[in-house]
Structure formats: C-alpha cells, structure tokens
Amino acid sequence: MTWSDVGWLILSVAIFIGFINFVVLALTYLERKFIGRAQGRYGPTRTGPFGLFQPIADVIKLMSKEDVLPARTDKAAFWLAPMAVFVPAFVIWVSIPFTRDIAIRNLEMGLLFIFAVSGLSIVGMIMAGWGSFNKYAMLGGARAAAQLISYEIPLIIGVLGVAMISQSLDLRVIVAEQGTWFIILQPLAFFVVFTAGLAEVGRAPFDIPFAESEVVGGPFVEYSGMHWSMFFLAEYANTFLVAVLITLLFLGGWRGIGPATGWGEDVMMAFWFFSKTMVVVLVIFWIRTALPRFRIDQVMALAWKFLIPLSFLNLLLTGFYLFYGWSDWSISLMSLAVLLSAYYAVMRRRRSQIPRPTMVKVPVRRGRVLG
Amino acid sequence: MTTGQHLGTVDMLLNMGPQHPSTHGVFRMILTVDGEQIQDAEAVIGYLHRGTEKLCERENYRQIVTLFDRIDYIANFNSELSFVMAAEKLMGLEIPERAQLIRVILCELNRISSHMLFYGAFGTDVGVFGTPFMYGFRERENIQQLFEAVSGARMMHSYFRVGGVAQDVPEDFVPRTRDLVETLKRGIDQCDKLLTYNEIMLERTRGVGTITKEEAIDYGLSGPTLRGSGIPEDIRATEPYLVYDRFDFEIPIGQNGDCWDRFWVRMEEMRQSIHIIEQALNMVQDGPIQTPVAKFGFVKPPVGDVYVRTESPRGDFGVYLVSDGKDRPYRVKVRTPSFCNLMALRRMLEGAYIADAVMILGSVDIVLGEVDR
C-alpha cells in the first residue's frame, strides 16, 4: 500500500461519511415532511424555502445545547455508549456498493461484514441503558438487548436464501445475479428480512426500546446535545441501511433501464439505486405513521414463533430449489404460498384465541331504555 | 430453570410521572415492576388541586360558572351544565326550550370533541406516531371554531347561565352545525378506519385492563368506562335531564370490559351524539333563551340543598349544592367521574405490562383538572 493509496482511502472515507451525514439530514427532513402530510399538516415550512433548512437548524440547536452528565452515572459507559452505537452504524457503509463501481471497499464477504458490524451496536445500547443511572434507560436497554439480539437470527437466516441463490456473499455479485429481482423469487425471505430489519434498527412498529410514550426514549433518555445527536445519526443511518439492503438484496440494486456503457451508465445506476431506496424509505415512514407499537412480549413471540420458523422454511425451500434445479416460477409460487398460509394461520389462531369483538347497542327511545 | 430460581430477583419501583409524557397531565403512578410486569400500582393525585370547591363559596352564582369551566377543561360545556342545572333545580326555574336545545347541542358537540381528544391521546399511548392525534385534533378544531362563534371562546366558554344561556347563538348556527355534523361524520369514520380494527391495536388492547361487570359496579365506575364493562347505564337515558327524553339513540356497551371495549364505546358514542344533534337541530325554534332571572344576573336560591347529576363525556358528573339563601352558595361539592374511575386503576393494572400501563390509563380517559379539582 503506497501513500497515495492511503490518501485515496482517507479521502473516500471522508467523502462517504460526509455523504451519509447528508443523507441522514435529508432523511430527517423527508420524514418530517412525509409524516406531516400523512397527518394533514405541512411539516416544517419556516426555515428556508419549503423548510429545507430545518435539518441545519436542528444541527445548530443540537450543537449549541449543553451536554448534561447526570449525577451518579457510570461515566465511562455513559460517554462511550454513543460512540459504540455511532461507529458501527457508519463503519458498515465501507462495504456497501452504491453502484457497480462506486464503493469504498467492496468485500467478497460483504454481507457477513455488514451483519457482523451491525450486531455491535447492541453493546452501545446496553451501555447507555446501564450507564445512565435511570430506570427508564435501564428498561430501554434491556428491551433493546432482548429485541435486537432476537431479530438478528431471522434477519441473517432470511438473507441466507438470497446468498444461496446468488452463490455469493458479495453484494455486487448478488445484484448482478438478479436477472429477475429476488423479491419475485423469494417473497418469503423479503417479508422476513424487511420485518426483521425494521425490528433490528428499532423503527416503528418495533420501536419498543425507544418508545416515547412508555420508556421516554429508552437508553437515550439522559443524553443531550452532541451525544444524543450521535444516537440520532446512527438511528437514521441504520434506517437508510435497511432500505439500501432491501434494495440491494431484493429489488435489483442499481439494475434498471439505462445506457449500457459510458458515464451515463453510472448515473443511471445511481439513479435507480436511490429511487428504489427512497421508495423503501417512504414505506418505512408510512408504516411509522400508520401502525401502533407492539408490546415487548408480542415482539419476542413474533420473532421466535413466527419469523424464525419462516426463515428456516425459506432456507429449506431454497435448498430444494437449488438441489433439484426446480424452475424459477415454482419457487416463487411456493414461497408466496408459504407466506400466505402463514398469514392465514396467524389470523385463524388470533380469531380463535380472542373472539372478534361483538358490538352491542342498547336502544333508547324517548327517554326509555329498551332491552 | 432450577439454577435460576435460587438467584432471586428484586422488584423494581418505577416512578411514572408526574413528568412522564403519557400520564395525561400531572399524574403519578408508583409501579412495582418485576421485569416488565406490574406487581402493584399506586396512584398519586393532587398535583393540580386548585381548591375549586372552596373558591365557589366566595363567588356569586354567575362567577362560579367560570370556575366550573376549569374543572373539566376538556368538556367545559358539560361541566358548566351540571352546576347551572343544580342552581336551577334549587330555584325551581323553568328553562325556555330554545335554551335547552342549544345546551343539548353544545354539550353533545363537546362530548365529541372530548372523545376526539381521547382518541388522539389513546392512539399515541398505543404507539402510533401522532397520526391519530392530528386526526382527532383536526375534528376538535372544527368544533372549537363553532364554539368560538357561539360563546366567543375556544375553551373556557362560560356561556351557560342560571336560567338559560348568555346570549343567543349566531344566525347561521343551525346550517353551520349541520355542515359541521357532516364533516364530523366523515372524520369519525376516518378515525375509525385508522385505528379501531387495526390488527396490532386489537392485539394490544383486547383482554388488557379487564374489569368485570361486578367489579365495575363495586368500584363505582361511570360513563364509558362503566359501559365498556357491559352495563347500559347512561344518565341521559336512565334519568333524562334537559330535553334528552325526546331523542332516540343507542347506548353502546362492551362485552369484556377491556381497553378495546372502552375505546370502541367512545367511538360509537360520538356517532350517537351526532344522531342526537341532528334530532335536536330539527327541533330548534325561535324563542327566548333566558328566564328573566338570568337576564338581570340576580340569582339567589332559597335555603336548601340539591344534588344534580349529568352525563359528562367521562361519566357521572354530580354537583351537590347547599344554599343559605344568600347570593353565593354555602357549600359546593363536585362528584367528578374521572376521580371515581381512577379508583379502579390499581385493579386494571394487575399483571399488566409497563407498556399496557400507559394504555390502560389512557383508556380510563382521565382529566387531571377534574380528578384534583
């Protein structure tokens, strides 16, 4: 490795971190606007044209806030926790290709690297929960530990199906293999990975560790200023990561209509990649506006009783498909059938357990109660 | 399992409130939790105590109406109504029909706006990010604009007087209310679609915070909290006051007495309120809006005492009024529904999760101004 290599590496890392920060800021603006519209409001309008400078105003506010250190905290854990969450969330981006040619370091074991590093952020959550000397933070930390570790399993096993079909853990190869998008070949895996991915980064309806109305922000409750904004950046970077992974693994990555050579190819690849990612991001925001939050025991039940069996089933199906060389449509139909029957089984079980609500109204006629 | 048992665990004391974001004001619960499950709960109230009952003893009858606005600050008209009716009953006043119908319409609209606030707060408690809240407030805003046109104030109206209402409604009141009712119908349906039958919502609320019929009676619950347990008790129907004996409507009752039932009862009550408003709008005719007593503000009930109860959005709102013949009451005692409903909270919270605690409290729909008075 020569000096110029090192220089390039540092430069590209700096550019990427700047880029991710920009994306995160853009996402916060987008989320405010989108959720505002969904709720019949405008969202930010006062800061610049269309409220575009709202994220910048937020950053200024966060930087100028006092960094509070509550009494009787475990100082080391308290100050290190934001780093422990922030660093993995950004290190992941090293191995993510944005187009076929643009990546800091495309790794042959890219998928493995991503899941290995993303698992580290749990440590930061627990440290924040423990170090804050706050019961709500502790509850949130415990919830985070339980939830995030549980959802690693269906997430990874769900992704394995994709890796098996494309015979690689290299994200570039996985995208190159998607002549038909893997969402068509593997709807079951898509469902499992998307759900588990949401839970893994703690987005609604799985935002149990950070639930505002229950544990008041969970592990972050005692943080303020820049340390809080590190958690915040990590959260949005992770949201974006889920969307990017879904795009890369299931939606054909940068594949799309466009010229096959020249600089136009790169531009179109980036265009398709970001359009698809944005669609997934908007779906994630949409889910947040529309769905109530699960309870912790229900979330754990969902992971262990529902998603993990489904992900293993997906693994099994994919194995048969590869071993016996079934045709593409058969696996996609079977995968879909399993998904639908699982849905049906859950609905059936739920109805039998708690009867559908029966509604009774007692009529009142001119001041007399009938019946 | 056996290895874990001798380790032993200690229950944690979790202090929820008074600054917790979802205690609906300044309310405090001291929860004893084992992990996520609640072993015991203690409600601490009194943070919003303003001594309204004592204040009533040194104000005259017209001034007291403003104090009653501030008892139940979500359903101001309903709480004004209880006091005004108590004074009227003591004086034996006959109220003009137009005033009675205006009161009914405003009170029912206020019931809808109160339930809309409940809907929004409950949605947030269950964990939707603000969408039900904004939906609920959108409908509330429409209603409050009408209230502003009628009384000049969005919340603290002090519009009812002993013997009638303060001034006549605007000329376009009836057509405007008809428009509002149509808007509200659409709004309620939209709110219903967003939350009521959502699968996660059903999973979260069914069978949680259950209170049986017998328990509900024993705890002295009232209003939607009581009807959620399956008892068709509604003062508007069982002991009609004002002109409620002229309307046809239905009392929705729950089957299991869980959070969902209480939620659904309120959603359905909004529709019934609209039904009542529509009937009342057809009956409104021109005429006087006050008895002369109210016009000149000269209220001096004879010596005696009286108890009046009305159906506020939260339940049985009773006023006990003692007069010694002067122009201000000797004693006023208010029986507020939230305060009594809150007594069942401990029973409801038994064995629930921390996440449910917030929701169960939301499903009782307390207003702290009314609990602490």
Distances (CA, A) of B186 to B153, B183, B189: 25, 5, 5
In angstroms, the CA A229 to CA B9 distance is 35
* Residue A21 CB burial class (10 angstroms; 0-12, 13-18, ≥19): middle
C-beta atoms of A359 and B356 within 8 A: no
CB pairs under 8 A between A and B: 145
**pLDDT tens profile B134-175:** 999 999 999 999 999 998 888 888 888 888 888 888 888 899
Separation in Å, CA of B14 to nearest CA in chain A: 7
Lowest mean pLDDT among A211-220, A292-301, B204-213: A211-220
C-beta atoms of B250 and A298 within 8 A: no
Separation in Å, CA of B312 to nearest CA in chain A: 17
Using CB atoms, pick whichever of A135, A365, A366 lies closest to residue B14: A135
Distance between start and end Cα atoms, chain B:
50
The 10 Å CB-count burial string (b at 16+, else e) for B222-253 is bbbbbbbbbbbbbbbbeebbbbbebbebbbbb
Beta-ladder partners of B29: B16, B43
In angstroms, the CA B196 to CA B237 distance is 26
C-beta atoms of B232 and A362 within 8 A: yes
Using CB atoms, pick whichever of B131, B246, B261 lies closest to residue A289: B131
Residues of B in contact with A365 (CB under 8 A): 248
pLDDT higher at A283 or B327 = A283
Question: What is the ipTM score, two decimals?
Answer: 0.84
Provide the pLDDT for residue A281: 92
Using CB atoms, pick whichever of A292, A354, A366 lies closest to residue B200: A292
* Residue A210 CB burial class (10 angstroms; 0-12, 13-18, ≥19): buried
Provide the pLDDT for residue B3: 54
DSSP A31: H
The 10 Å CB-count burial string (b at 16+, else e) for A133-147 is ebbbbbbbbbbbbbb
C-beta atoms of B206 and A354 within 8 A: yes
Non-local (6+) Cβ contacts of B339 within 8 A are B45, B370, B371, B373
C-beta atoms of B355 and A365 within 8 A: no
C-beta atoms of B131 and A205 within 8 A: no
Tens digit of each residue's pLDDT, chain B (373 residues): 455 566 777 788 888 878 888 778 788 889 898 888 888 888 888 888 888 888 988 888 888 889 998 888 888 999 999 999 998 888 888 888 889 999 999 999 999 999 999 999 998 888 888 889 999 999 999 999 999 999 888 888 888 888 888 888 888 889 999 999 999 999 999 888 888 888 888 888 888 888 988 999 999 899 899 988 888 888 888 888 888 888 888 888 888 888 888 998 999 899 999 989 999 999 888 888 888 776 666 778 888 899 999 999 998 999 999 998 888 889 999 999 999 898 888 888 888 888 888 889 889 888 888 888 8
Separation in Å, CA of A371 to nearest CA in chain B: 9
Mean pLDDT of A105-124: 85
Average pLDDT, chain A: 85
Is residue A281 within 8 A of residue A24, CB to CB? The reply is no
C-beta atoms of A298 and B204 within 8 A: yes
C-beta atoms of B253 and A211 within 8 A: no
Residues of B in contact with A284 (CB under 8 A): none
Helix then strand then coil, in percent of chain B rounded to 5, is 50, 15, 35
C-beta atoms of B128 and A207 within 8 A: no
Instruction: Report the 10 Å Cβ neighbour count for A76.
Output: 10
**pLDDT tens profile A270-279:** 888 889 999 9
Residues of B in contact with A144 (CB under 8 A): none
In angstroms, the CA B354 to CA B362 distance is 13
C-beta atoms of A212 and B21 within 8 A: yes
Non-local (6+) Cβ contacts of B175 within 8 A are none
The residue among A97, A28, A55, A78 whose CA lies nearest residue A255 is: A97
Provide the pLDDT for residue A257: 75
In angstroms, the CA B348 to CA B371 distance is 18
Beta-ladder partners of B320: B307, B333
Residues of B in contact with A353 (CB under 8 A): none
Bond before B302 cis per omega within 30 degrees? no
C-beta atoms of B135 and A39 within 8 A: yes
Using CB atoms, pick whichever of B125, B130, B353 lies closest to residue A295: B353
Provide the pLDDT for residue B1: 45
Using CB atoms, pick whichever of A288, A350, A364 lies closest to residue B251: A364
Distances (CA, A) of B337 to B222, B224, B343: 6, 10, 10
Separation in Å, CA of A168 to nearest CA in chain B: 37
Phi, psi angles (nearest 5°) of residue B272: -65, -35
Interface test with B, best of A354, A362, A365, A369 (most B CBs within 10 A): A362
Is residue A200 within 8 A of residue A148, CB to CB? The reply is yes
C-beta atoms of A292 and B353 within 8 A: no
DSSP B244: G
Locate tokens 């709720």: which residue? A39
In angstroms, the CA B241 to CA A174 distance is 73
pLDDT higher at A187 or A367 = A187
Separation in Å, CA of B318 to nearest CA in chain A: 20
Using CB atoms, pick whichever of A35, A295, A357 lies closest to residue B129: A35
Name the residue of chain B whose CA is nearest to A290's CA. Answer: B128
Question: Would you say how long chain A is, in residues?
Answer: 371
Name the residue of chain B whose CA is nearest to A299's CA. Answer: B200
Q: Which tokens go with B165?
A: 């209402």
Locate tokens 């699982």: which residue? A342
In angstroms, the CA A139 to CA A147 distance is 12
Distance between start and end Cα atoms, chain A:
88
Name the residue of chain B whose CA is nearest to A210's CA. Answer: B127
C-beta atoms of A354 and B207 within 8 A: yes
Lowest mean pLDDT among A116-120, A258-262, A353-357: A353-357
Using CB atoms, pick whichever of A39, A295, A360 lies closest to residue B253: A360
The 10 Å CB-count burial string (b at 16+, else e) for B83-113 is bbbbbbbbbebebbebbbbbbbbbbbbbbbb
The percent of residues in chain A predicted with pLDDT above 70, rounded, is 95
Mean pLDDT of A286-303: 89
In angstroms, the CA B166 to CA B188 distance is 30
**Complete edge-to-edge strand list for the sheet that includes strand A360-365:** A368-369, A360-365, B248-253
**pLDDT tens profile A329-357:** 888 888 888 888 888 887 776 655 555 55
C-beta atoms of A360 and B246 within 8 A: no
Interface test with A, best of B27, B129, B243 (most A CBs within 10 A): B129
Residues of B in contact with A216 (CB under 8 A): 20-21
Mean pLDDT of A95-101: 80
Residues of B in contact with A41 (CB under 8 A): 134
Provide the pLDDT for residue A174: 86
Provide the pLDDT for residue B114: 93
